[in-house]
């Protein structure tokens, strides 16, 4: 039976104080509260995109959550947005930092998120092979931004490389990835970015893009898709990224409830 993990993209947001975290809760206890009081069993770590995580940091994070909790990590941008700068030592360093989570059985996979400018070219397809060559034993999931990658030949390549395809829910722009549910490895993965079409391209602050509250009906659209994904995947990760003022927590918990009712 497929295992389903539900959580949010990140947990350390100052604007969650009040809507999610009690005002008197120390910041050092936010993750433990997230993992024990909110009913969520996974978290996608986004800070790893901006800086290489340290071994000790991941030891600390693992200690703050109960057994059975899973982390997924976004690959550092040196591997996705600054690709020419990545050295062999960088690949090796990142691989070693994952060990504390692996040893505690709290590691899910690495999300390799490429920018919109990463087009479906032979050079970039070869780069996917390069990633797998550097990390042959890591569960990997790839998030494309450009619709060019929605093609059966790409899905076949991901299956060949044992890389998962990251499905997304986001505004329905013609050039972005549509809300398709595709499984290309043992890992199924969905990110809920929100549908704030008005602010997606035009915003003053980055958080405005993710200021969106999902309705029950919108999330219900994904229930049959997730059920279908479960027929092919061994594990599925579902993460809400509409993080402004804790709306992601509301989305994740509602999605969790809908899936539980569906199973019942």
**Which tens digit of pLDDT belongs to each residue from 235-259?**
999 999 999 999 999 999 999 999 9
Return the closest-CA partner of residue 191 out of 7, 65, 38.
Answer: 7
What is the pLDDT, as a whole number, of residue 246?
A: 94
Query: DSSP letters along 240-252, please?
Result: E---GGGHHHHHH
* pLDDT value of residue 164: 98
Quote the pTM value. 0.95
Q: DSSP string covering 72-138, please? A: EEEPPGGGTTSGGG--HHHHHHHHHHTHHHHHTT-EEEEEEE--TT--S-HHHHHHHHHHHHH-TTS
Residue 134, CB-side half-sphere exposure with 13 Å CA sphere: 20
Give the pLDDT band of residue 264 (cuts 50, 70, 90): very low
- Tens of pLDDT along 4-45? 999 999 999 999 999 999 999 999 999 999 999 999 999 999
Whether residue 42 contacts residue 70, with contact meaning beta carbons closer than 8 Å, is answered with: yes
Q: Quote the distance between the C-alpha of residue 219 and its chain's center.
A: 17
- Sign (positive/negative) of CA torsion 121, 225, 140, 113? positive
CA dihedral sign of residues 59, 61, 66, 70 = negative
Q: What is the pLDDT of residues 122-172, one digit of tens each?
A: 999 999 999 999 999 999 999 999 999 999 999 999 999 999 999 999 999
Q: What pLDDT is attached to residue 198?
A: 82
Place 179 in a pLDDT band, splitting at 50, 70 and 90: very high
Question: CATH number for the 3-263 domain, one of 3.20.20.410, 3.20.20.70, 3.40.470.10, 3.30.420.10?
Answer: 3.20.20.410
Distance separating alpha carbons of residues 62 and 256, to the nearest angstrom: 23
Q: Are strands 107-113 and 70-74 parallel, antiparallel or unpaired?
A: parallel
Q: What is the pLDDT of residue 202?
A: 73
pLDDT digits (tens, 9 = 90+) for 89-133: 999 999 999 999 999 999 999 999 999 999 999 999 999 999 999
Dihedral Cα 22, 28, 33, 35, nearest 10 deg: 150
Given this model, what pLDDT does residue 204 score? 74
The answer to whether 30 and 11 have CB atoms below 8 angstroms apart is yes
How much is the mean pLDDT over the chain?
94
Element at 176 (helix H, strand E): none
Nearest residue to 239 via CA among 217, 214, 260: 214
Q: What is the pLDDT of residue 227?
A: 95
| Residue appearing with tokens 């898709």 | 225
Candidates 222, 148, 215; CA nearest to 181 is: 222
Domain ranges within the chain, ordered by starting residue: 3-263
Angle of the 55-63 helix axis to the 88-97 helix axis, nearest 10:
20
Q: What is the dihedral of CA 109, 229, 175, 85, to 10 degrees?
A: 10
φ and ψ at residue 192, rounded to 5 degrees:
-105, 100
């Amino acid at each position: 039976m497929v295992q389903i993990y539900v959580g949010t993209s990140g947990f350390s947001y100052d604007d969650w104080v009040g809507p999610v975290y009690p005002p008197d809760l120390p910041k050092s206890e936010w993750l433990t509260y997230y993992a024990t009081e909110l009913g969520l069993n996974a978290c996608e770590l986004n800070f790893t995109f901006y800086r290489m995580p340290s071994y000790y940091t991941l030891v600390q994070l693992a200690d703050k959550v109960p057994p059975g909790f899973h982390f997924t990590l976004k690959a550092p941008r040196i591997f996705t947005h600054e690709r020419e700068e990545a050295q062999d030592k960088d690949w090796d360093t990142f691989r070693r930092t994952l060990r504390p989570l692996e040893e505690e059985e709290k590691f899910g996979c690495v999300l390799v998120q490429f920018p919109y400018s990463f087009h479906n070219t032979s050079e970039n397809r070869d780069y996917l092979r390069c990633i797998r060559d550097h990390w042959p034993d890591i569960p990997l999931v790839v998030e494309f931004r450009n619709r060019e990658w929605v093609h059966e030949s790409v899905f076949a390549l991901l299956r060949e490389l044992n890389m998962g395809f990251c499905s997304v829910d986001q505004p329905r722009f013609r050039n972005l990835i549509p809300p398709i549910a595709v499984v290309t490895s043992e890992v199924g993965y969905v990110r809920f970015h929100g549908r704030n079409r008005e602010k997606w391209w035009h915003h003053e602050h980055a958080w405005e893009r993710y200021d969106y509250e999902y309705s029950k009906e919108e999330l219900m659209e994904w229930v049959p898709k997730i059920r279908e994904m479960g027929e092919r995947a061994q594990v599925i990760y579902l993460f809400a990224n509409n993080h402004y003022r804790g709306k992601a927590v509301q989305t994740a918990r509602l999605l969790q409830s809908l899936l539980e009712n569906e199973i019942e």
